[in-house]
């Protein structure tokens, strides 16, 4: 076999370097360390990057704030990354908040009054903002006008305040849950999609470099295959495999080390984790293969239905292991095969589990 190409962000004699375990950093630090800082550092998502570059260039040429932007797509695909890269490209400030933190207009007001001309206000999980905040944000997004109601009942009066024009960037995993008026206030809407294996392998190689860890090309590919099309999953696998390699293999991530680490973490050859398999097994053993309602599956697994819908099901659906029907979720023959259960030979036998 040809010698594997090594992607090495460290010095030549890095095997003797003291390796830093990811325990040195908390999850947030780890995420931030690996997050691309500029648009040119972003891997993949060519359509999104090209469109953003046009928006940025146009905003700069007109010396105007960027139009409000909505980013949607499953978790871990780079929405926050794009939202934080944009202000850097524009040379403006960025304020960050999140839908669940915005229960009443007073929670949003300081962000709006603090936003300078052309700056960015990033609202993550924007679909989880309360309806009162949503009503409040409409005139802000449209006319940069804040309507504040003082007093109650007969004595109530509204005062208006003008604020500096700025850009709202909203991110959502559930664009379907946004109301039409809110969605319409975003002049720019971009969808972030799953990544190809080669793109994830590239992210892994670059990030191994940033972490001063040595990863062989084959090992990066094996991790990429199991990363569920998602950079955040790729980064998490890298964190684990790096720790494993440090303890068991002097820090170098070869394909053999990577596969052993993945086996220990119970990540299978498709990238399914314990919870994914538990979902499939529950569907088969408790619900006879389905159809089963999302809430019922959630109760059986003791996991909120939202989490299942956002984080577990999209990948199982993509792999064709489950199916969503009007009557509920069903396991597919491929799903059964993955669990090592022979599919029924006829539809009549379909509910024999």
Per the structure block, which two tokens stand in for 233? Answer: 């999953």
Active site residue 232: yes
Residue 262 contacts ligand ADP per CB under 6 A: no
**Is residue 92 involved in binding ligand ADP (CB under 6 A)?**
no
Which residue among 7, 36, 115, 244 contacts ligand ADP (CB under 6 A)? 36
Catalytic residue at 282?
no
Under the binding rule (CB under 6 A), the answer on residue 203 touching ligand ADP is: yes
Applying CB under 6 A, the span of 76-84, 249-257, 263-271, 330-338 interacting with ligand ADP comes to 76-84
Query: 176's torsion region: left (phi>0), alpha (psi -120 to 50) or beta?
Result: alpha
Q: Which of residues 45-74 bind ligand ADP (CB under 6 A)?
A: 45
Is 78 among the residues that bind ligand ADP (CB under 6 A)?
yes
Residue nearest to ligand ADP (CB): 78
Beta carbons within 10 angstroms of residue 54's beta carbon: 10
Sign of the torsion angle spanned by Cα atoms 171, 177, 181, 187: positive
Cα–Cα distance, 275 to 312 (Å, whole number): 8
User: For ligand ADP, which residue of 235, 236, 239, 332 counts as binding (CB under 6 A)?
Assistant: 235
> Least separation, in Å, of the C-beta of 47 and ligand ADP?
12
- For 198, half-sphere exposure in the C-beta direction (CA atoms, 13 angstrom radius) is 2
Q: Shortest approach of ligand ADP to residue 195 CB, angstroms?
A: 7
By CB under 6 A, residue 42 contacts ligand ADP: yes
CA Rg value for the chain: 24
76 binds ligand ADP (CB under 6 A): yes
Residue identified by tokens 């524009």 is 90
Candidates 19, 68, 70, 79: give the one binding ligand ADP (CB under 6 A). Answer: 79
The span from the CA of 75 to the CA of 143, in Å, is 31
Q: Which of 4, 31, 107, 147 binds ligand ADP (CB under 6 A)?
A: 31
| Beta pairing, strands 69-72 & 328-331 | unpaired
Q: 281 forms bridges with which residues in the sheet?
A: none
Are 217 and 172 a contacting pair, CB within 8 Å? no
- Surface-to-core class of residue 243, CB atoms within 10 Å of its CB (0-12 exposed, 13-18 middle, 19+ buried): middle
Which residue, 209 or 328, is less far from ligand ADP as judged by CB? 209
Residue 237 binds to ligand ADP (criterion: CB under 6 A): no
7, 35, 97, 308: residue in contact with ligand ADP (rule CB under 6 A): 35
Q: CB nearer to ligand ADP: give 22 or 235.
A: 235
Q: How far is the CB of 35 from ligand ADP (least distance, A)?
A: 4
List 65, 118, 170, 231, residue binding ligand ADP (CB under 6 A): 231
Find where tokens 């090309």 sit.
217
Q: Is 193 in the site for ligand ADP (CB under 6 A)?
A: no
Rounded CA-CA distance 244/16 in Å is 16
- Strands 69-72 and 120-124, how do they pair? unpaired
C-alpha angle 137-140-142 in degrees, rounded to nearest 5: 110
143 counts as catalytic: no
Q: Which stretch binds ligand ADP (CB under 6 A): 6-14, 27-35, 157-165, 269-277?
A: 27-35
How many residues line the site for ligand ADP (CB under 6 A)?
A: 20
Cα 86 to chain centroid, rounded: 17
Catalytic amino acids? Answer: 79-80, 124, 173, 232
Residues in contact with ligand ADP by the rule CB under 6 A: 31, 34-36, 42-45, 75-81, 171, 203, 231-232, 235
């Amino acid at each position: 076999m040809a010698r594997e190409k090594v992607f090495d962000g460290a010095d030549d004699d890095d095997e003797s370097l003291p390796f830093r375990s990811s325990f040195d950093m908390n999850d947030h630090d780890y995420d931030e360390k690996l997050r691309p800082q500029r648009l040119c550092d972003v891997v993949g998502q060519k359509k999104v990057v090209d469109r953003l570059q046009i928006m940025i260039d146009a905003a700069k040429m007109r010396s105007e704030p960027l139009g409000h932007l909505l980013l949607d797509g499953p978790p871990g695909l780079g929405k926050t990354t794009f939202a934080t890269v944009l202000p850097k490209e524009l040379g403006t400030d960025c304020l960050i908040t999140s839908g669940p933190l915005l229960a009443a207009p007073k929670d949003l007001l300081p962000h709006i009054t603090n936003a300078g001309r052309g700056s960015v206000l990033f609202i993550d999980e924007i679909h989880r903002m309360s309806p009162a905040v949503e009503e409040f944000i409409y005139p802000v997004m449209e006319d940069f006008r804040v309507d504040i109601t003082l007093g109650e009942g007969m004595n109530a009066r509204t005062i208006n305040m003008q604020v500096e024009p700025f850009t709202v960037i909203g991110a959502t995993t559930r664009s379907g849950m946004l109301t039409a008026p809110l969605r319409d206030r975003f002049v720019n809407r971009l969808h972030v999609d799953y990544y190809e294996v080669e793109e994830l392998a590239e992210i892994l190689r670059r990030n191994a470099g940033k972490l001063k860890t040595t990863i062989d090309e084959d090992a990066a590919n094996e991790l990429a295959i199991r990363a569920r099309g998602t950079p955040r999953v790729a980064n998490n696998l890298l964190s684990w495999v790096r720790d494993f390699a440090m303890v068991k293999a002097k820090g170098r991530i070869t394909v053999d080390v990577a596969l052993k680490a993945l086996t220990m973490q119970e990540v299978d050859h498709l990238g399914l984790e314990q919870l994914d398999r538990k979902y499939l097994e529950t569907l088969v053993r408790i619900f006879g293969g389905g159809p089963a309602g999302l809430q019922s599956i959630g109760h059986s697994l003791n996991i909120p239905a939202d989490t299942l819908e956002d984080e577990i099901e999209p990948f199982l659906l993509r792999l064709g292991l489950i199916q969503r029907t009007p009557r509920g979720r069903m396991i597919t023959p491929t799903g059964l095969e993955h669990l090592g259960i022979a599919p029924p030979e006829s539809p009549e036998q379909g509910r024999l589990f």
